[in-house]
């Protein structure tokens, strides 16, 4: 390697061309192979265009834009994140070998020049495969007449921003460690630390707190790859006149903000590089002030993972009674897991297994931290378990019970239903100690006790969502006791608006088909699709269901019976379309089971008039239902003559 040294008065240089060329030449197998792989995409499109019959394949500029935007939002973030760490390992690899780092730092080039040159080398390695693929795609599009300039510019900008974001993060991680194997581990951990830590803490909270469900993902902004995939997407606006569509990017500003953070991380990495000691090559952590953070951070993660596993194996599966954790055994297991992580981290830092002497203080801090963590979570010091939103905080609320949804209810249009759910929620909070101590009676007699899984979802006026999940057992004596959650849930299901939810699909959705099932019908099942000749039949049946709801003919659910037992032997499966996005016109299918009862006269009459059910079979079905071969209902079944 030759270095240019001038006898003239030296000027400070921030870039060394020789080192830059050397970095690219050493790494050419990586970026050349990726460039060849990327070139396969335009080559495949070219072959498709050549082989297609004339006029059968005529892509439009909007199609080119859509393809670019889908690639840059779906493929580019993950690929760039993985490729950036490889490039960082290549350009900063000399920092992890004592001989290499001594050689580089003895050259007539200062550290600022080394940093800038290596950083530009890494960014160039990332850019080359994208440049080759993008140039060939644009050339192909220009030759075939479907090039879209704005889409190309936006895609180039997005790729540059992604490269700066992830290479900046990888470079910062490279400065914090002196071990080549620790670098990808640090990088991976930083990218996913926020959701992992939040999920682990929520998992511990679930062991003590009633109703607390999965993590709310409120700190995803600290995880670049997760937040980018959440916020950065392509959308399409369709026009029915000619079938064309325009494509656009949503969330490019989010990527731009992360790129600014990437620039800040590069600046911080440069600052750390100026103060990094060459002797730290080979160390897991390159700075002494970072060693306690690493040691206790590993202890925390180990306590939440290994400790939780120990509790499950040694206590929960053998001695725990009920669904909620015992504080003292969990503390012991978390402390043991934390100590295991603490000493493992100490061995990595000291490069020896002799780390126990003089470690009593650190071990005590780990045990005290485990005790504080278990105590804070178990006593609900932040009031998570006890929180019930006020009426003026609620935008809408829904209650889901074993997959059957009631709501959403709006405080302005449905104040009574919203207040009923709030009162029910307050009763759950009041009875939380009873819920914790209740032991499931799996040999229960149906009609005396039954299990419910309740999911409450509040959409709040501040734009956030509050979700609570409760695994409950409803008993007959508590249903008859005023003020208990059993009694309030039973009363809630008597409400006509709540009963209407059982037979109503959400607003702004379209029925796609209705399947009718019954052993009392000649064929047993009929599929009524809105796109076929009998499309009007589906609308007629749904209108009959709504008429029954208006007349109060929908029976209330019995909280002491399995819904399948309440279902009778005649039911509908309604398939309806739900819009996924107002921007691209996409939709998905969802399903709703509706159980038919004899008092739903309009629906049964519609089935008879449309020829799906005969009058004789309807009478036989009604008689069987009344004789006990149907479910017990809150609304008495009448003898009906069809």
What is the reported pLDDT for 203? 86
Q: What's the predicted TM-score (pTM) here?
A: 0.80
Give the CA angle between residues 175, 179, 185 to the nearest 5°: 85
Q: Are 542 and 605 in contact (CB under 8 A)?
A: no
Of the ranges 43-47, 128-132, 217-221, 501-505, the best mean pLDDT one: 128-132
What average pLDDT is seen over the chain?
A: 84
Task: Assign 84 a pLDDT band (cuts: 50, 70, 90).
Answer: very high
Q: Which residues contact 248 (CB under 8 A, 6 or more apart)?
A: 69, 234, 235, 236, 237
What token pair was written down for 355? 């780390």
- DSSP structure string for 514-582: EEEEETTSSSSEEEEETTSTTHHHHHHHHHHHHHHHHTT-SPPPPTTS-TTGGGTTEEEEEEEEEES-T
What is the reported pLDDT for 238? 56
* DSSP tag of 588: E
Of the ranges 154-168, 499-513, 628-642, the best mean pLDDT one: 154-168
What is the reported pLDDT for 173? 94
Rounded Cα gap, residues 13 and 330, in angstroms: 59
Rounded Cα gap, residues 574 and 512, in angstroms: 8
Q: Which of 207-221, 256-270, 292-306, 358-372 has the lowest mean pLDDT?
A: 207-221
- Beta strand 394-401 with 233-238 is unpaired
Give tens-digit pLDDT for 529-588.
655 555 688 888 888 888 888 888 888 888 887 765 445 578 788 888 877 655 555 677
When pLDDT is averaged across residues 287-316 and rounded to a whole number, the result is 92
Task: Assign 309 a pLDDT band (cuts: 50, 70, 90).
Answer: very high
The H or E element spanning position 98 is helix 98-105
Return the higher-pLDDT residue of 362 and 638.
362
N residues, the chain: 642
* Most distant CA pair in the chain, distance: 112
Rounded Cα gap, residues 568 and 517, in angstroms: 11
Domain boundaries defined on the chain: 17-196+219-282, 289-378, 391-492, 500-629
Give tens-digit pLDDT for 101-141.
888 888 788 889 999 999 999 999 999 999 999 999 999 98
Of the ranges 109-123, 161-175, 519-533, the best mean pLDDT one: 161-175
Please state the separation of Cα 127 from the chain's center in Å.
30
The owner of tokens 């581990």 is: 185
When pLDDT is averaged across residues 370-375 and rounded to a whole number, the result is 92
Give tens-digit pLDDT for 7-59.
444 566 778 888 899 989 998 999 999 999 999 999 988 888 888 766 566 77
When pLDDT is averaged across residues 385-394 and rounded to a whole number, the result is 90
What is the reported pLDDT for 7? 44
Could you give the C-alpha distances from 78 to 85, 298, 471, in angstroms and in order? 11, 26, 38
Tell whether the model's pLDDT for residue 446 goes beyond 70: no
Instruction: List the one residue out of 494, 480, 474 whose CA is nearest residue 428.
Output: 474
Give tens-digit pLDDT for 474-493.
888 888 889 899 999 989 98
């Amino acid at each position: 390697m030759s270095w240019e040294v001038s006898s003239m008065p030296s000027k400070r240089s921030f870039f060394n061309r020789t080192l830059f060329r050397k970095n690219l030449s050493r790494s050419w197998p990586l970026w050349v192979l990726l460039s060849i792989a990327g070139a396969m995409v335009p080559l495949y499109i070219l072959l498709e265009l050549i082989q297609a019959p004339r006029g059968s394949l005529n892509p439009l500029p909007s199609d080119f834009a859509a393809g670019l935007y889908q690639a840059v939002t779906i493929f580019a973030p993950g690929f760039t994140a993985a490729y950036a760490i490889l490039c960082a390992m290549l350009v900063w690899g000399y920092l992890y070998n004592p001989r290499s780092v001594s050689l580089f730092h003895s050259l007539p080039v200062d550290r600022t020049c080394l940093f800038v040159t290596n950083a530009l080398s890494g960014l160039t390695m990332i850019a080359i495969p994208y440049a080759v693929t993008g140039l060939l795609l644009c050339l192909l599009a220009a030759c075939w007449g479907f090039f879209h300039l704005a889409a190309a510019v936006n895609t180039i900008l997005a790729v540059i921003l992604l490269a700066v974001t992830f290479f900046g993060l990888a470079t910062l991680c490279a400065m914090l460690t002196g071990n080549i194997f620790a670098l990808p581990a640090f990088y991976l951990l930083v990218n996913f630390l926020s959701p992992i830590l939040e999920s682990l803490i929520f998992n511990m909270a679930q062991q003590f707190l009633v109703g607390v469900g999965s993590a709310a993902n409120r700190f995803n902004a600290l995880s670049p790859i997760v937040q980018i995939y959440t916020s950065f997407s392509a959308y399409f606006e369709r026009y029915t006149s000619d079938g064309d569509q325009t494509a656009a990017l949503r969330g490019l500003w989010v990527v731009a903000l992360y790129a600014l953070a990437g620039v800040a991380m590069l600046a911080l990495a440069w600052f750390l590089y100026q103060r990094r000691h060459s002797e730290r090559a080979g160390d897991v952590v390159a700075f002494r002030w970072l060693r306690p953070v690493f040691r206790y951070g590993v202890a925390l993660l180990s306590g939440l993972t290994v400790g939780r596993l120990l509790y499950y194996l040694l206590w929960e599966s053998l001695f725990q009674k009920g669904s909620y954790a015992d504080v003292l055994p969990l503390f012991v297991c978390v402390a043991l897991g934390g100590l295991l992580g603490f000493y493992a981290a100490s061995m990595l830092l000291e490069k020896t297994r002799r780390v126990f002497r003089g470690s009593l203080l650190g071990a005590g801090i780990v045990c005290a931290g485990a005790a504080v963590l278990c105590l804070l979570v178990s006593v609900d010091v932040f009031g998570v378990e006890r929180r019930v939103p006020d009426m003026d905080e609620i935008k809408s609320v829904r209650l889901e019970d074993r997959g059957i949804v009631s709501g959403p209810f709006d405080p302005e249009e449905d104040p009574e239903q919203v207040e009923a759910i709030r009162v029910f929620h307050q009763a759950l909070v009041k009875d939380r100690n009873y819920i914790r101590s209740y032991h499931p009676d799996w040999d229960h007699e149906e009609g005396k006790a039954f299990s419910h899984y309740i999911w409450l979802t509040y959409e709040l006026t501040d734009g956030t969502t509050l979700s609570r999940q409760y695994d409950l057992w409803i008993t007959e004596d508590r249903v008859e006791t005023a003020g208990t959650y059993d009694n309030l849930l039973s009363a809630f299901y008597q409400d006509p608006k709540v009963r209407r939810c059982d037979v109503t699909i959400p607003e702004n959705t379209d029925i796609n088909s209705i399947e009718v099932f019954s052993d009392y019908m000649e064929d047993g099942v009929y599929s009524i699709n809105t796109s076929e000749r009998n499309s009007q039949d589906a609308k007629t049946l749904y209108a009959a269901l709504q008429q029954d709801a208006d007349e109060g003919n929908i029976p209330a659910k019995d909280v002491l019976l399995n819904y399948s037992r309440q279902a009778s032997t005649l039911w509908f499966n309604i398939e309806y379309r739900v819009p996924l996005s107002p921007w691209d016109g996409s939709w998905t299918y969802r399903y709703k089971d509706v159980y038919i009862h004899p008092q739903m006269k309009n629906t049964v009459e519609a089935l008879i008039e449309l020829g799906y059910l005969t009058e004789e079979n309807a009478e036989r079905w009604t008689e069987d239902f009344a004789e006990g071969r149907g479910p017990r209902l809150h609304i008495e079944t009448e003898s009906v003559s069809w």
